Structure 1
Amino acid sequence: MEVLNYLKALADETRLRIVSLLSEGELNVNEIVEILAMGQSRISRHLKILLDAGIVKCRKDGLWAFYSLSSSDFAKKLLDFLYGAMTDEIFESDRISLKLFKEEKYIKEREFFDNIAPGWSSIKKELLCGFDLNEYMLRELNGARVVADLGCGNGELALLLAQKGARVIGVDHSPVMLEIARDLFVKKNLVNGEFRLGELYHLPLKNKEVDMVVINMVLHYLDNPLAVLKESFRILKNKGRLVIGDFLPHNNEQLRVAFSHRWLGFSESLIYEWLNHCGFSSFTMNKFEISQSLGIFICSCTK
C-alpha cells in the first residue's frame, strides 16, 4: 500500500527533519549536511529511503544531486497535514539554521559579484567564448518602451537597450555592479536608466510596470528560477514579452566551482514547462553553439 510506504518512510526523526527543510525549497546533500550538522553518509541513507518511497525527488545536474519534495497529489496532501504537526523545538531550530544558512549564502554571493564587478565584462566575454549575446538579446526589443533587466550586472545590456530608446530598470543584488552601471549611463549622458538594489525573488517593481523583461545569463545562478519567472510574469503588462538568454545543458563542472553556477544549463523542455506553468505563451527558442562543449539559447514568450 502506498500510504503504508509513506508512513514507514516518515517514521524517523531525521527523515522528518529533512522533509521539513525541503518544504522550504530544493537543497543538495552537502547543504542538508551543513544545516543539520550530520554526516553525509547518514543523510544520503535517509534521502534514499525518502526517494524510494516517493516522498522526495532527485534532480541530477552534472556531478551534483538536488532534492525536493515529491509533486504527487497524495504526497502533497500527506505532507501538508504533517507540517501542521511539526511544531517541536527541533523543527523550529532547523528552520532557524536554514534561514541562517541562506543568509550566509546570500552574503557570500553578493561579495563574490562585488569583487568581480570591475572585471565582469572580460570575464563574461571569456565565459561566452566571445559570443556577443547582448547583440542577439537587443534584436528582441521590438519597440518595447519600458524594459526590466533582471540581474543587470554592470549595465552593458541595459546601456544598449537605453540607446535604442527604451527606459530601462535594472535590478541586481550587487551594490558594486549597480554603481558601475550607473557610472556607465552618466558617462554616456543617458537619463533613461534606473538601477534598483533588490532580490529577483521579490522584485522592487509594481504589477504590470514594464513592457518587456530580459534575463541575460542569470537563471543558472538561482536556487529557484521558476520563482523569478513568476515574478517576471507579475511585473509584465498584458501582452508584454519575456526574453531569456542562458546556457543549454552541459557538463562543465568548472563553471560551478569557479563561478557558483547552480544549474549546468537548461533544456528546452524544462524552460517551456516553467513558462507554461507561469502562464506565458507564444514560445520561440534559438540555439547557438559557442564552443565544442557549450551552447546558448535565447527564448522569448508573451504574457
Structure 2
Amino acid sequence: MSEICRLEAGKFLEKLNEYFERGKNSFLYDICIKDHLDKLSSESGYPNWLTKLLNYLSCEYNLTGKMVVDVGCGTGELTIWMNKLGYSAHGVEIQPELFNLSKILEIENGLLEDTFIFNSGKKLPFGDKSVDIITMFSVLEHI
C-alpha cells in the first residue's frame, strides 16, 4: 500500500479551531489542538502510524471488498483515509460536535454523504452480517 495522501481540510480546520476555542485558556487546549492538527500534517508521526495501521489491517484482514465500521470515529480522519484508499468504510460517532466535523471532512474530500453516521448507542443502521470489520481506536478512555 502506498503512503497515505493529504486530506482536503480547509473548512474542517476552521471549524476545528472554533470547536477548541472555548477551551483556549485550559492546559489541555494546546495538547488537544496539536493532536488534531498533527493528524492532518504530513510531518507528524500520525500519518506514519496510520500508514502502518492501514497496512496491517489490509494485510491481516484483506479490506478489499469488505465493509469496515470505525466505531467512535471522532473527527473521521481514519475513515476518510480508508475510503480514499478505495476501501468501504463508515464512521460512527455519538458526540454531535465531532460528528459535525467528520461531515465537513466527508464533503471536503468528496465522499458519499452516508460515510458518517450519528448514533447515540441505539441500533446501528447496518443489516445483520453486513459488517466485516469493526475498528475502535482511542475510544475506551472516553467511556
TM over 0.5: yes
C-alpha deviations, 1:254-299, integer Å up to 9, x for none? Answer: xxxxxxxxxxxxxxxxxxxxxxxxxxxxxxxxxxxxxxxxxxxxxx
Partner of 2:132: 211
Partner of 2:52: 136
Structure number with the higher strand fraction is 1
Structure 2 residue ranges without an equivalent (≥5)? 1-18, 23-28
C-alpha deviations, 1:12-71, integer Å up to 9, x for none? Answer: xxxxxxxxxxxxxxxxxxxxxxxxxxxxxxxxxxxxxxxxxxxxxxxxxxxxxxxxxxxx
3-state SS in 1 of match to 2:70: strand
Partner of 1:170: 91
- Distance 1:187-1:117 versus aligned 2 partners, 3 A rule: farther
Partner of 1:123: 35
- Distance 1:180-1:136 versus aligned 2 partners, 3 A rule: same
TM-score, normalised by the number of residues in structure 1: 0.30
1:146 paired with 2:67, answer yes
Q: 1:159 offset after TM fit, Å?
A: 0.7
Match 1:159 to one of 80, 83, 89: 80
Match 2:109 to one of 188, 204, 216: 188
Aligned residue identity for 2:142: Y
3-state SS in 2 of match to 1:170: strand
- Contact 1:145–1:165 under 8 Å retained in 2: no
Identity %: 23
- Where relative contact order (Cα < 8 A, 6+ residues apart) is larger, the structure is 2
- Contact 2:106–2:115 under 8 Å retained in 1: no
- Contact 2:20–2:33 under 8 Å retained in 1: no
CA distance in 1, matches of 2:33, 2:124: 24
Q: 1:181 offset after TM fit, Å?
A: 1.2
Structure 1 residue ranges without an equivalent (≥5)? 1-114, 223-303
- Contact 2:71–2:93 under 8 Å retained in 1: yes
- Contact 1:173–1:199 under 8 Å retained in 2: yes
Aligned residue identity for 1:122: K
Q: 1:193 offset after TM fit, Å?
A: 5.2
TM-score, normalised by the number of residues in structure 2: 0.58
- Distance 1:189-1:121 versus aligned 2 partners, 3 A rule: farther
CA distance in 2, matches of 1:181, 1:152: 8
Partner of 1:60: none
- Distance 1:221-1:117 versus aligned 2 partners, 3 A rule: farther
Q: Superposition pairs for residues 1-303 of structure 1, below 5 Å?
A: 115-116=19-20, 122-123=34-35, 125=38, 131-132=45-46, 133-139=49-55, 140-141=57-58, 142=62, 143-191=64-112, 194-200=115-121, 202-222=123-143
CA distance in 1, matches of 2:21, 2:122: 21
Q: 1:178 offset after TM fit, Å?
A: 1.4
Task: Give the count of matched residue pairs.
Answer: 105
CA distance in 2, matches of 1:188, 1:202: 28
CA distance in 2, matches of 1:117, 1:163: 30
